[in-house]
Amino acid sequence: MSERYNRQIILDGFGERGQQRLSQAKVLVIGAGGLGCPALQYLVAAGIGHVGIADDDTIALSNLHRQILYSTEDVGELKADVAGRKLKAMNPEISMTTHPFRIRRDNILELLKKYDIILDGTDNFESRYLINDACALLAKPLVFAAVSGYEGQLAIFNAGPKEQRTNYRDIFPIPPLPGEIPNCAESGVLGVLPGILGTMAASETIKLISGIGEALLNQLLHYNLLNQAQYIISLSPNSDYEMPATEKDFLNQNNDSSSCELPQDYLEIDAQQLNAMQGNSSVLLIDVRENYEMPALDDGVFSKIPMSGFADFLDSNVEAENIVLICQHGIRSVAAAEALQQKYGATKKIYSLKGGIVKWRNQLNGIL
Amino acid sequence: MKIEIISFGKISEFIENQHLELKDISNIEQLKHHLETTFPLLGTIKYKLALNKQMVQGNPDLSNSDQIAIMPPFSGG
């Protein structure tokens, strides 16, 4: 076996057999971001036979403090392409496939069928529930890693003895509403945290394949970076939620209250549409960011109503027929749009700026 | 009855790790109601409880010196 893997082959308990098992495995990493970058680097370096990289996003400057596969000159390029190129240079002995498209309900099953183990390194609940449901349907082991603030969660689902297998919906049957739990773009993240969790996810994947140690089967590990505390809880199947039993059921699982893909009555608009709406007296433009957030917008044009005080605003009545919500990344503005939609129904038109101020500014600067 | 509360993520911003003296509370459902009344923000987000490091399913009874963990879902990556 290759000299490349010598230092792990000589390990007690791992050996040629462990390496052989890695070389026969096919692992798909979904999300080549803060969690996906380190996971990919260690999986590729360790000699996983076939590695897939699924990500439809492009590299932004604000990604670089934690997404350590990428360089400054890569900003604007597709993550899947750049990751594939750099990982190929690091280990040309394995095979690799890049999937530079967004996973959706209608393409995920075909994609997952090509792999043995799935590693979820995505950054939003919609993708996480979609991946969970698809992995449960196809009985694919799923290595789950996620971060929030200074903490992380790690688990392996759909593995181990059949009657003990759990999935994410056994813990959280129903997805949180948009804005209910802040993500990295909104609440911030220290670069090393997804680095640690992504590396832990890679080590669980390697343990699962090679059979060494005790993988985190049907357990949820909490990690706290601030005090290095770990807290592991045992999971058990929960019969409250009925998973789709067939591919047809999976494809039709939509628009119910248990799905993130709620029918949307508000409209997401782009920067061009926003520019066209400015200056119209029937349009109220609202910046829902907190007062300390930068860049500041012209307060003659945009009313400042931070999310922290939005409940009061919902109690008042607005005259304008059209309301446009704006925030940093277009996530909180969606939550605000939904709340206004619930209040006013069809009597007003509600809009949210897609991608938020960051995307709008990038377009002005001609970066994207 | 005295129990220990350990909270994670966003929930730890409004429920500190603490020991709670409980009166007239004997099971998980009663405890949830008590916690959501004492800490109203808990009622606004999804969370899961673990009892002595076992994820709670159903409505188990509580015993003196039980440890309850309160966890929100994380999505960041």
CA dihedral A122, A308, A227, A202 (to 10 degrees): 0
Tell me how far apart the alpha carbons of residues B64 and B75 are, in angstroms, rounded to a whole number: 34
Domains of chain B and any CATH numbers: 2-71 (3.10.20.30)
Q: What is the pLDDT of residue A255?
A: 42
Instruction: Find the mean pLDDT for residues A20-35.
Output: 98
pLDDT band at A260 (very low <50, low <70, confident <90, very high): very low
Q: How confident is the model at residue B1 (pLDDT cuts 50, 70, 90)?
A: very high
Is B76's CB within 8 Å of A189's CB? yes
pLDDT at A270: 84
Q: What is the per-residue DSSP string for A131-174?
A: HHHHHHHHT--EEEEEEETTEEEEEEES-SSGGG---HHHH-SS
Residue of chain B whose alpha carbon sits nearest to that of A235: B55
Q: Which residue has the higher pLDDT, A359 or A245?
A: A245
Which among A33, A148, A235 is the nearest to B9, CB-wise? A148
Q: What pLDDT is attached to residue A49? A: 98
CA A143 – CA A255 distance, rounded (Å): 27
Walk me through the domains of chain A, giving residue ranges and CATH numbers: 3-252 (3.40.50.720), 267-364 (3.40.250.10)
Residues 230 to 289 of A: which have CB under 8 A from any B CB?
A: 231-236, 238
Stretch A349-364: mean pLDDT: 84
**Would residue A327 show up in a list of annotated catalytic residues for this protein?**
yes
Element (H, E) at A42: helix A36-46
CA distance A303 to A293: 14
- How close, in Å, is residue B5 to chain A by CA atoms? 13
What residue in A sits closest to B42 (Cα-Cα)? A180
- Residue A365, pLDDT score: 63
CA distance A147 to chain B (A): 5
| Pairs across A and B, CB distance < 8 A | 97
pLDDT greater than 90 at residue A265: no
Q: What are phi and psi for residue B53, nearest 5 degrees?
A: 70, 15
Nearest neighbour of A181 by CB, restricted to B6, B45, B69 = B45
Q: What pLDDT shows up at residue A71?
A: 97
The answer to whether residues A262 and A348 touch, using CB atoms and an 8 Å cutoff, is no
- Per-residue pLDDT at A317: 86
Question: What backbone torsions phi and psi does residue A165 show, to the nearest 5 degrees?
Answer: -65, 140
Residue A275 is predicted with a pLDDT of 82
Section A298-318 average pLDDT: 88
- CA B12 to chain A, closest CA, distance in angstroms equals 11
Is the pLDDT at A262 greater than 70? The verdict is no
A184 flagged as catalytic: yes
Q: Phi and psi at residue B29, in whole multiples of 5°?
A: -60, -40
**Percent of chain A, pLDDT > 90?**
66
The Cα of B48 is separated from the nearest Cα of chain A by a number of Å equal to 7
Instruction: Give chain B's radius of gyration (CA, Å).
Output: 12
Q: Which two tokens stand for residue A262?
A: 């709620």
Chain A residues with beta carbon closer than 8 angstroms to that of B66 = none
Tell me if chain B has a CB within 8 Å of the CB of A362. Answer: no
Q: In angstroms, what separates the C-alpha of A227 from chain B's closest C-alpha?
A: 13
Does any CB of chain B come closer than 8 Å to the CB of residue A226?
Answer: no
As a whole number, the mean pLDDT across chain A is 91
Between these two residues, A71 and A328, which has the higher pLDDT value?
A71
At A254 the pLDDT is 65
Tokens at A368, concatenated: 């994207």
Contacts of A238 in chain B (CB under 8 A): 57
Angle (CA) A345 A179 A100, round 5°: 105
Q: What is the DSSP string of A190-216?
A: -THHHHHHHHHHHHHHHHHHH--S---
**Res A184: pLDDT:** 64
Q: Are A237 and A170 in contact (CB under 8 A)?
A: yes
Quick one: pLDDT at residue B26? 95
Give the pLDDT confidence score for residue A257 in this predicted structure.
39
Best CA proximity match to A57, nearest among A36, A26, A72: A36
Q: Which residue of B has its CA nearest to A187?
A: B76
A343 has pLDDT over 60: yes
Checking if the pLDDT of A160 tops 80, the result is yes
Listed by number, the residues of chain B in 27-66 with a beta carbon closer than 8 Å to a beta carbon of chain A are 44-46, 48, 50, 53-55, 57
Q: Does B74 touch chain A (CB under 8 A)?
A: yes
Q: Which of A53, A56, A114, A115 is nearest to A84 (CA)?
A: A53
> Are B76 and A145 within 8 A, CB to CB?
no
- What value does the CA radius of gyration of chain A take, rounded to a whole number of Å? 22
| Percent of residues, chain A, with pLDDT higher than 70 | 94
Tell me how long chain B is.
77
Please report, for residues A94, A239, A311, B38, the alpha-carbon distance to residue A173 in angstroms, rounded to integers and kept in the order given. 37, 10, 27, 25
Nearest residue on chain B to A173, alpha-carbon basis: B46
Distance CA B34, CA A196 (A): 36
Is the confidence at residue A263, as pLDDT, over 70?
A: no
pLDDT in tens, A51-85: 999 999 999 999 999 999 999 999 999 999 999 99
Q: b/e for A332-359, b at 16 or more Cβ within 10 A?
A: bbbbbbbbbbeebeeebbbbbbbbbbbb
Return the pLDDT at A1.
57
Hey, are the CB atoms on A145 and B69 less than 8 Å from each other? no
Interface test with A, best of B7, B55, B70 (most A CBs within 10 A): B55
Residue A94 clears pLDDT 50, i.e. is over it: yes
Residue A51 · residue A43 · CB < 8 Å = yes
Q: What is the pLDDT of residues A174-224, one digit of tens each?
A: 898 877 777 666 778 999 999 999 999 999 999 999 999 999 999 999 999
What pLDDT, on the 0 to 100 scale, is given for residue A259? 41
